Structure 1
Amino acid sequence: MKIKITLFAGLLISTYSFAQQKDSVVSQEKLSEVVVTGQLEPQSIKKSVFNVRVISKENIKQLAANNLADVLNQYLNITVTSSGQDGRSKASMFGLDSQYFKILVDNIPLVSDTGMGTNVDLTQVNLDDVERIEIIEGSMGVTHGANAVSGILNIITKKGGGYKWQIGATIQEETVGKEFAFFDKGRHIQSAKIAHNFNENWFVNIGGNRNAMAGYYENRQGKDYDINDGLRGYTQLPKEQLVGNAIVGYQKDAFRIFYKFDYYGEDVHYYNPLVNITDNYPFPDTYFSRDKRYITNRYYHHLNASGNLFSTLKYNVSVSQQKQERDLENFVYHLDTKQETDNTRDTYQSKEVFYSTGTLSNFFDNKKVDFQLGYEITNENGFYDSSVGAFRDDSQQGVDIRKRLENYDVFSVAEIGVSDRFSIRPGLRFSFQTAFDNQYASSLGLRYLFDKGLEARGSFGKAYRTPNFDELYTYFVDSNHNMQGNPDLIPETSSSYEVSLKRACTLGSGAQISNNLAVTYLDVNDRIDLVTTQVTPLSYKYLNINKYKMWNISTVEQFTYKNWNVMLGAAVVGISRTLDLAAENLVSDDKFFYSFRINSNVSYNITKWNTLIAVFYKYNGQQQQYVAGTGADGKAGFFLNTLEPFSYMDASIRKTFFKNQFEVTVGARNLFDVTNLQSMQNGGGGGAHGDGGTTSNMLMGYGRSYFLKLTYNLNFN
């Protein structure tokens, strides 16, 4: 640990040493990247009060990323985990799961099974039409409402282009671990897009993508394996994803309007490890298994208009309608004939959401003072079929549950330029809730520009998280289990503080250096958790009972010189998680456990060969936390759970031909071959089936894989 601390301290010292350079630093007056997330209007990163991180389109291309999971694996404070049961990948930030981290597309929260913008399956977010990704860490409750507790991620899609016609097509072949075949192994991606500018005002973009992942076998034997030894099926499930999108837009002077439509379809196949035998005496036995597939269809509509009112007022209004349905198809698969019978398909989950948000700003037509008024309307209509889920309605088992959740929010933000150097940004939101008590969020942002390009920012924010569908309505009771939701849950509340220093400069040699140092503190109260309410017989219930605290100290160093581009980031994250066992009147220790993390990427452009070489690296240090469980003596208690450290490394080589019209990218993901992480729990078994100490594995991926991507682009006027 001393080596890690020394390395981190060195990075901090380098931040200040660059910030204090005098003789070798010259003024840097280059154009800054424009960001939109959390801003009153699009503006440069330098002018933003928030500390905005940007994942550029170039970063996405270097990773040959097809979906959001491919990208976020390399982000410093985000951990991506996979599920072998339903094929999903989720993101957690600062140790808080995906319920606290909000994902948006063009400022519209993306619908998911249990929320709006939260619990999003990262593999279901396609990146074909993405211009860039903007991330703000910490509370964003004022501008983005419920559940923006640990941060927000906003995907900015491409709108229009610089040519009259832009046509592109991509084929990507990728191994899944060591497994590859053109049809029944590996990952196979095809995409096409076309963009047309009719004139200087009208444009249209259309695209489509197919991503077929044939599953990860590892030690499993696939769907046609007929021995009942638990090896039938896949470690990660086969899935096929189809994506279609279209956008049409018009712009003239300050007025802009666009309509965007996205379709997402997914089939995930689950093959039961249990093989059944039919005795056909005197004929040979036959074998079958009871399998299922999950079928998802999602429709996304977004209409946005922005412009000026009464020559000075600026408005921006979005209206969105999203619908997602998940069907479960059960069937019997006959291993001898490879035929399916007894297919039954039912919708077990659906959610339809109407969402609208809008702002008015520039009330004073003054560069020193700006004021913004905004609203947000969310109307969610959710349905779960109790026959395939663990849900109830009105305390009755076996009854489908249908619920409508609504909120109507108003918010205001002011941006005051006290001087050319110093600006203040206060904000307040009030949310009228139909299912919970009304909520509010507040924030205060400060920015000061020192000499020599040093930028200082400070922010404070209060946010809230509303309970999700599972926490409210789960009902799973049988002879061995008693797990219940709680419709009386209240929203969690949180406070977030961040201070950051940023410096960008150009050295006399022409090298460009930027440094970003940030310190963040997050405190979450009334945290919802599944709590043991009775030991004999064992019963659980969701309650507002836990507390969560987090410290994060991070630094990011960027160096650009000629054809080199180098980034190095490091963070120390400390997490305190207080647990409460209501049944035993026990409260856990609130000790902080610290984890060290690094990420880096290096790229070199060989201009003579039109070739770019890029390497990405990420290290996640050991993570520890207390978990509730029962020991070998049958008594409930708290036990220390340790997740071992791990590293990711991705690499790619991209070469262009024929005046950049044809592009070839080859590379590898997860070079350190991470598949499962060992999770060790000392002294307890983690719940009802504890045995005094356990070691388990957490599925992280399918190991080292290789890819080849071929892209053709044709642009002309």
Structure 2
Amino acid sequence: MRKSFYILIGLSVFYSVTAQKKVTDSIKVNELDEVVITGQFEPQSIKKSVFNVRVITAKDIQNLAANNLSDVLNQYLNITVRPSGNDGRSTVSLFGLDARYFKIMIDNVPLVSEAGLGNNTDLSQINLNDVEQIEIVEGSMGVTHGANAVSGILNIITKKSSKDKWNISATAQEETVGKEFELFDKGRHIQSLKVSNSINKKWFASVSANRNDFQGFLDGKQGKDYIENDGLRGYRWLPKEQLNGTALLAYSKNQFRIFYKFEYLDENIDFYNSTVQSGFNTELGSYRYADDRRFLNNRYFHNLNSTGKILNKLNYNVSVSHQKQERIIEDFRYYLLTQNEANSIKVKDQSMETFYSTGTISNFFSDKTVALQLGYEIVNNRGFSLPVHETLENYDFFVSSEINPAERFSIRPGMRFSAQSKFKDQYASSLGLRYLFKNDFELRGSYGNSFRTPTFEELYYFFVNDSHFYIGNENLIPETSTSYEISIKKAKSFDSGLQISTSFAGSFLDIDDKIDMALIRINPSTLIREFQYINISKYQMWNFSTMNQFKKGNWNLNFGAALVGISQKIENQIFASNEKFLYSFNINTNISYLLPKWQTTFSAYYKYNGKTQQFVEGSSEYIISTIDDSNWLDVSTRKSFFKKQLEATIGARNILDITNINQTRANDGAAHGTSSNVMLAYGRSYFLKLTYNLNF
């Protein structure tokens, strides 16, 4: 496969050299109003897109002073960010489906994670230093983006050009963690530097570095140097330090563009054991120690992309990527009185190395009423998780067409064939419709079926403790899904300067052979509960939502609401759940105002996550668990100084001071049950961000 990888690089360079006519630079196109790239044959107006595409702009990210992708997505409708203080990860849930069903990409290339490619991505690891915009498409995208794009896709479009010769940007950000803050030992401390250079009309280069130092959240705990054995040592949210570096080199001439992007992530997460032990030896005398652990994560990302024309007519777009993600666990003994570490043992716990390539070729016909796109995708995942090494491959071919029988009417059918090394061959199909009425109503409808292949963990997981036995299942089969969506949108401008955009959408998703961890038996002699991943579930979801935008002058207001119903039938080998629908209601709104005289923007973002219910496994039956509702509010003020060379952003996250929310576990129809707390956040925090920009 390594040989194939280098052949693909050679092909992409060859296509670049044979190009002769100018291709529209996607970054330059983005200067137009609401231009999108994701899922399109070429960059085009969002109004012409058959898909419903949501756009998060660089300005939105600046107003939020977002540290990473989780800070951004936390504010958007139908999306739930799931943070964990235990391992420092943040993942995304869309329509009640977890991150295994939602694909995250950078410049159309899926990002590697321990689960494979593009899925179950840790949002806290995605840096936003050089983001042009973020595009989200909800619903099945299996034809254009392959396996696991079941609930939707997210594409991060990075900056690849600049109107200035030099851009130098340096940022420092200080943020409290709840009420905890010190200049070095508590809170969050962020520093970043980015330098880009438009070398000439053909060449552009940029490099950046970012450090995100999260000192953990104590919340009554006493930190790593606490010497008493009363359970108070350690942190409620683990300390984490991330170092992120990127480099980009882009070249464009006449008909083609080629760029190479490199990214490196180094992340350390520290776990401090709450159990303090005592010892004695002749060298140290009486001493106290704890057996601690450190998680060392790193990720490499290489992407070579070329776009251009072949034979002065056919448009091509080819990407070749090599990525590797690895986690090492370091166990060590920490001596509390001397504050020294000893007996360090490092073990590689998990890794995933991926060779990936995708490409499309289009513009076969001079008649613009019909467009045809042919494409391929090659994936080679080499995974390791103690004690298993395995390789999973797929070779995909897809075809998509856009037919415009009239200027206002578009039809987009598509099909994909996926040859799998581990599973039976898979198929995906889709049909999209768009009609623009004369009164500016936009009607869209879509049908799609897709598939999700089992993750490395689901296939090969193995864990045993005193009371539980968890194993993967190499006999799993891919899940299959079918989705339907219909939406109507209306945009109108008034003589007063007021602009209103309103949309209503309804969707339905049906998943068969859904994979869940199931109780397969209770050992009668040891009473150990044995669990295994099995294709045991059927999942259905319907969603009705509305999104509304109001603009006038320097005011911008957005409001959205969604009602979601979820039904899941789980047939364990011991017991089963019923298929009743469980409902949740969500609201989001944000408002911003630009005061030109002061060069100041005021912003507020509010999100209401309604009460949710789900079936969870009890001792002898599936029971309904209810998670209470929550409210989230962020505010910020961003001001420019000295002709926009200096920018200051001050604000607060989680103003309503949410920390834990209640989760009840009760028998269906019963009046009794148990409850527990779900760690949602570490409370209200305040931040100050300073950015110095030097452009010339």
Classify the TM-score, shorter chain: over 0.9
Q: 1:655 to 1:543 in 2, by over 3 A?
A: same
What is the aligned partner in structure 1 of residue 532 from structure 2? 541
Q: Which stretch has the larger CA shift, 501-510 or 552-561?
A: 501-510
The amino acid that maps onto 1:676 is: N
Deviations 1:310-350 (A, max 9, x none): 11110000000001111111100011111101011122211
Question: If the length of structure 1 is used for normalisation, what is the TM-score?
Answer: 0.90
Answer whether contact 1:80 1:700 (CA < 8 A) is retained.
no
Instruction: Judge conservation of contact 1:215–1:237 (CA < 8 Å) in 2.
Output: yes
How far off its partner does 1:246 sit? Answer: 0.8
Superposition pairs for residues 153-164 of structure 1, below 5 Å?
Answer: 153-164=154-165
Q: Give the partner amino acid of 1:714.
A: L
1:126 is matched with which residue? 127
Q: What is the one-letter code of the residue matched to 1:658?
A: F
User: How far 1:224 moved relative to its partner?
Assistant: 0.7
Shift of 1:694: 2.2
CA distance in 1, matches of 2:282, 2:348: 39
2:116 corresponding residue in structure 1: 115
2:141 pairs with 1:147? no
Once the two structures are TM-superposed, the CA of residue 305 in structure 1 deviates from its matched residue by 0.4
**Is 1:136 the counterpart of 2:137 in the alignment?**
yes
Letter in 1 for 2:413: P
1:297 is aligned to 2:298: yes
1:416 aligns with 2:411: no
> Which position in structure 2 is the counterpart of 1:311?
312
Match of 1:167 in 2: 168
Q: 1:603 aligns with which of 577, 592, 598?
A: 592
1:700 aligned onto 2:680: yes
1:345-494 residue pairs with structure 2 within 5 A? 345-384=346-385, 386=386, 400-494=387-481
Pairing partner for 2:512 from 525, 539, 547:
525
Cα distance in 2 for partners of 1:612, 1:328 equals 44
* Greater CA drift, 280-289 or 162-171: 280-289
- Following the alignment from structure 2 to structure 1, what is the Cα–Cα distance between the partners of residues 38 and 250? 20
Confirm or deny: 8 A CA contact 1:171 1:710 kept in the other structure: yes
- Within 5 Å, give how 1:95-110 maps onto structure 2: 95-110=96-111
Q: CA offsets, 1:475-516, max 9 Å, x none?
A: 223542222211000000001111011111101211111112
| 3-state secondary structure, aligned to 1:306 | strand
More off after superposition, 245-254 vs 453-462: 245-254
**Contact 2:82 2:680 (8 Å CA) reproduced:** yes
CA contact (8 A) 1:193 1:205 kept: yes
Deviation at 1:284, TM superposition (A): 6.9
Q: Which residue of 1 aligns with 2:579?
A: 590
> Does residue 1:512 correspond to 2:499, yes or no?
yes
Distance 2:193 2:610 in 1: 40
SS at match of 1:627: strand
2: CA distance between counterparts of 1:150 and 1:166?
38
Contact 2:256-2:306 within 8 A present in 1 as well: yes
What residue in structure 2 maps to residue 14 of structure 1? none
| Native 8 Å contact 1:255 1:305 kept in 2 | yes
Structure 2 partner of 1:253: 254
Q: What is the CA-CA distance between 1:365 and the residue it aligns to?
A: 2.4
Decide whether the 8 Å contact of 1:579 with 1:628 is kept in 2: no
Secondary structure of the 1:660 match is: coil
Question: How far apart are the structure 2 equivalents of 1:84 and 1:473?
Answer: 26
- Tell me which residue corresponds to 2:559: 568
Distance 1:31 1:240, change over 3 A: closer
In the TM superposition, what whole-angstrom CA distance separates every residue of 1:582-624 from its partner, at most 9, and x where no partner exists?
A: 12xx332211111110001000111111110000000000001
Residue number among 541, 547, 561 corresponding to 1:556 in the alignment: 547
- C-alpha distance in 2, partners of 1:693/1:474? 31
8 Å contact 1:175–1:707 — kept in the other structure? Answer: yes
Residue 321 of structure 1 is matched in structure 2 by: 322
- Extract unaligned runs of 5+ from structure 1: 1-29, 387-399, 631-635, 685-691
Number of the residue aligned with 1:342: 343
Q: Per-residue deviation at 1:31?
A: 5.2
2:68, 2:138 → 1: CA distance?
21
SS of the aligned residue for 1:172 comes to strand
Report how far residue 563 of structure 1 moved: 1.2
Q: Which amino acid aligns with 2:312?
A: S
Q: What is the distance in 1 between the residues matched to 2:172 and 2:653?
A: 17
CA shift at 1:531, angstroms? 1.1
- In 1, the alpha carbon distance for the partners of 2:329 and 2:284 equals 34
Q: State the AA in 1 paired with 2:571.
A: D
Partner of 1:669: 653
Partners of 2:654 and 2:683 within 8 A in 1? yes
Distance 2:325 2:449 in 1: 31
Residue 262 (structure 1) aligned with residue 242 (structure 2)? no
Counterparts in 2 of 1:181 and 1:478: CA distance versus 1, 3 Å: closer
Deviation string for 1:264-322 (max 9, x for gaps)?
11011110111111156999742100001111111110000001111111000000000
Cα distance in 2 between the residues matched to 1:492 and 1:360:
29
Q: Which runs of 5+ in 2 are unaligned?
A: 1-30
Q: Secondary structure at the match of 2:415?
A: strand
Distance 1:282 1:168 in 2: 52
CA distance in 2 between counterparts of 1:41 and 1:332 reads 56
The alpha-carbon deviation at position 629 of structure 1 amounts to 1.1
Question: Is the 8 Å Cα contact of residues 266 and 296 (structure 1) preserved in structure 2?
Answer: yes
Distance 1:257 1:289, change over 3 A: same
Q: Decide which moves more: 360-369 or 408-417.
A: 360-369
User: Where does residue 23 of structure 2 map in the other structure?
Assistant: none
- Secondary structure at the aligned position of 1:451 is classed as coil
Equivalent residue of 2:33, what SS? coil
Please state whether the residue corresponding to 2:592 is helix, strand or coil: strand
Match of 2:666 among 682, 701, 707: 682
Q: Secondary structure at the match of 2:99?
A: coil
Secondary structure of the equivalent of 1:533? strand
2:496 corresponds to which letter in structure 1? Answer: S
Q: Could you tell me how far 1:230 is from its partner in structure 2? A: 1.4
Q: Percent same amino acid at aligned positions?
A: 56
Instruction: Please state whether the residue corresponding to 1:582 is helix, strand or coil.
Output: coil
Taking structure 2 as the reference length, what is the TM-score of the superposition? 0.93
Q: 1:417 to 1:230 in 2, by over 3 A?
A: same
SS at match of 1:46: helix
Contact 2:116–2:352 (CA under 8 A) maintained in structure 1: no
- Contact 2:582/2:612, CA 8 A, preserved across alignment: yes
The answer as to whether partners of 2:299 and 2:324 remain within 8 angstroms in 1 is yes
Structure 1 counterpart of 2:185:
184
Classify 1:254/1:285 alpha carbon distance in 2 versus 1 (closer, same or farther; 3 Å). Answer: same
1:639 aligns with 2:660: no
Between 277-286 and 152-161, the greater mean CA deviation after superposition: 277-286
Verify the 8 A CA contact 1:476 1:482 in the aligned structure 2: yes
Deviations 1:216-235 (A, max 9, x none): 11111100111112111111
CA contact (8 A) 1:32 1:46 kept: no
Residue pair 2:418, 2:425 contacting (<8 A) in 1 also = yes
Which residue is 2:16 aligned to?
A: none
Preserved CA contact (<8 Å) 1:211 1:240: yes
Letter of the 1:242 counterpart: L
Q: Secondary structure at the match of 1:123?
A: helix
> 2: CA distance between counterparts of 1:710 and 1:80?
27
CA distance in 2, matches of 1:241, 1:120: 15
Q: Secondary structure at the match of 1:58?
A: helix
Contact residue 81 and residue 699 of structure 1 kept, 8 A: no
